[in-house]
Amino acid sequence: MSNPLRQGWRLLTITATLSRYRLDEVARSAHWFRPVAWLTPGRRDSKALSRGERLRLALQELGPVFVKFGQVLSTRRDLLPLDIADELAKLQDAVEPFPGAQAQAIIEAQLQQPIDSLFNSFQQQPLASASIAQVHAAELKDGQSVVVKVVRPGIKQRIRQDVSLLRTLAGLAQRYHPEGQRIRPLEVVHEFETYIFDELDMQREAANASLLRRYHQHSRDVYIPKIYWSYCKQHVLVMERVHGIPIKDKQTLQERGFNLERLAKRGIRLFYTQVFRDNLFHADMHPGNLLVAEDNPDDPRIIALDFGIVASLSPKDLYYIGENFLAIFEQQYRRVAELHVEAGWVPADTRLDEMEASVRTVCESSFTRPLNEISFGEMLLKLFQVARRFKLTIQPQLIMLQKTLLNIEGLGRDLYPELDLWAVAKPELEAIVRHKRSPAATLKALRRRLPMLLERTPDMPELIHQTLKKAVAGELETRLRHPQLDELPNLLKQQRRATGLAIFGGALLISGVLLLDYRSGPVILNIALPSWLCFLAALGAAVSLWRR
């Protein structure tokens, strides 16, 4: 089947699925699917299901790419109704496995060796199967137990086709939805495309895991499995096999006497350490990717898995998000408003007093609740929602941070409902910031930059001399750059034309009025010259107004 025919058939399949789950109703509140509603001719009676359930089931039926897209959408709580976002968060990656013999063939092709020369043993029956890859157990020649992660065959082509369709639907939403330019659905699809293609590259995932392992090598909070680089290629990853209890299996943890309060607190500390100390955080930290080490129930350690999505912030974003966190911790609402303006997240002409009042409304209502009910992730979400009225520019990199925080807070509360997030998070962040601003940290940063500064030092006297020479000669120029300055010449040109037309029209009008009193002059098409002058003046004024 040719590519256009394949895409047409895929579109028909998607349309039929959306119709079957009555997603035209979802479209009325979840603006992503409004254009799709126009394409759904029929539907099955499914009133017993909520709109979020219908959407989740439809995405599961459409396949792995749409499952992944639903997972990404579930993180965009700034765009989706909460009931739909909560339901999409339940999407699971478990899909039908592909044959083990096919996985073996991919491994041999990637590593260019027969399977017997690579491993003592290789289990063709997979341990787990997800939308992007599946995992097999194996044993290296030195006896080390490992897992081998293999990318699904043909998945890249299918992703390209489905992403192309998603981009088309997002384009319709951005063009026709009233808030299309603000919610930027094309940007969300691009964000999804970046994440999913990053997940296809096993060497990238291996690098993520390797760096996280280095940062947490001596940590008591988390364990990162070892990567075996000589066995890692674009479609194959080999990692140390680890054993533990799934962190979502609370009943088993309780039965075996694990300290759930300590475990919950470690999860919260891990988030703040990864984000604000290391600026490298596991951005897919849902319960399915976390185990608990079994060796010490009283002092349990988290084991992290699946490093396909690891994120970091720019130095600017990291500074402003950290300062926002501290300002909220200290209930300095004016400072929160100022930081949003300084960071460029809201326009520079935003009224700080109005934004301060909005921030205070959100935060004070949270602070009045018992400490063990406060959720910092939910507070951030409400702040993003409130900031819409101040024309907040959506920051995708901060949305990923917020999603990770919501995941880890939800996990902590599930493990230990009495958890006081404030008591854990506030001192952790304050300690990290205090360390970063300490004289020792400043000296270390200066020492790191000193070679670069010394290398440039010989050029400084000449640069200073040239600058002073130009200043004395009056040749020093100051250049201003602003996006609207590029439009200034065109605006001035239009203004000159409009002014000239207005002067000419005014002259015609005055001449016509003066000649009306004399009731004389040539007649053109049975209309006297004064009337023609007045008509032309009115026409010129109309054209001038229209062009403005």
Kindly give the interhelix angle for 3-20 and 51-62, rounded to the nearest 10 degrees: 150
Least confident of 136-140, 207-211, 406-410: 406-410
**Residues with catalytic roles:** 284
Question: Rounded to an integer, what distance in angstroms lies between the CA atom of residue 414 and that of residue 297?
Answer: 18
Query: Would you say 117 and 104 are in contact if contact means Cβ atoms under 8 Å apart?
Result: no
Q: What is the pLDDT of residues 377-414, one digit of tens each?
A: 777 777 777 777 777 666 666 777 877 888 888 888 88
Which of the given ranges, 21-25, 270-274, 459-463, 535-539, has the highest pLDDT on average?
Answer: 270-274
Interval 370-374 mean pLDDT: 69
Q: Specify which of 6-15, 111-120, 314-323, 332-341 reaches the highest per-range mean pLDDT.
A: 111-120
Residue 391 backbone zone (phi > 0: left; psi -120 to 50: alpha; other: beta):
left
Least confident of 296-310, 337-351, 369-383, 401-415: 369-383
Domain ranges of the chain: 3-92+173-179, 313-441, 485-547
H/E stretch holding 263? helix 260-272
Token readout for 528 is 């006297």
On the question of pLDDT at 338 being above 60, the answer is yes
Cross-strand bridge partners of residue 290: 304
User: How far is 176 from 413, CA to CA, in rounded Å?
Assistant: 41
Q: How far is CA 455 from its chain centroid?
A: 38
Question: Whole-prediction pTM value?
Answer: 0.71
Q: Is the dihedral of CA 139, 140, 146, 148 positive or negative?
A: negative
Would you state the pLDDT for residue 31? 46
Taking the C-alpha atoms of residue 165 and residue 15, their distance in angstroms, rounded to an integer, is 11
Separation of alpha carbons 341 and 335, rounded Å: 10
Enumerate residues 6+ apart whose C-beta is below 8 A from 251.
none
The SS3 call for residue 527 is strand
Structure tokens belonging to residue 15: 């349309």
Q: Say whether 271 sits in a helix, a strand or coil.
A: helix
- Tell me if 196 sits within 8 A of 63, measured CB to CB: no
* Nearest Cα residue to 203 out of 174, 172, 232, 165: 232
Sign of the CA dihedral with 282 first, then 283, 289, and 290 last:
positive
What residue has token string 């009042």?
A: 357
Range among 197-201, 209-213, 379-383 rated most confident = 209-213
Total Cβ atoms within 10 A of residue 106 = 18
300: which residues sit within 8 A by CB, 6+ positions away?
A: 253, 258, 259, 262, 263, 266, 292, 293
Percent of the chain surpassing pLDDT 70: 75
Question: What's the alpha-carbon Rg for the chain, to the nearest Å?
Answer: 31
pLDDT at residue number 116: 93
**98 or 393, higher pLDDT:** 98
Largest pairwise CA distance in the chain: 114
Helix pair 185-200, 396-415: axis angle to 10 deg: 70
Give percent of the chain above pLDDT 90.
24
What residues contact residue 376 under an 8 Å CB cut-off, 6+ apart? 325, 328, 405, 409, 421, 422, 425
Q: Which of 287, 289, 295 is nearest to 309 (CA)?
A: 289
Query: What H or E segment, with its residue span, contains residue 223?
Result: strand 222-223
Residue 192: pLDDT above 80?
Answer: no
Q: What pLDDT digit, counting tens, does each position of 496-537 carry?
A: 666 665 565 555 555 555 555 555 555 454 455 555 555 565
- The pair of structure tokens assigned to 64 is 């792995």
Q: Based on the number of CB atoms within 10 Å of its own CB, is 238 exposed (0-12), middle (13-18) or buried (19 or more)?
A: buried
Half-sphere exposure of 219 (CA within 13 A, CB side): 23
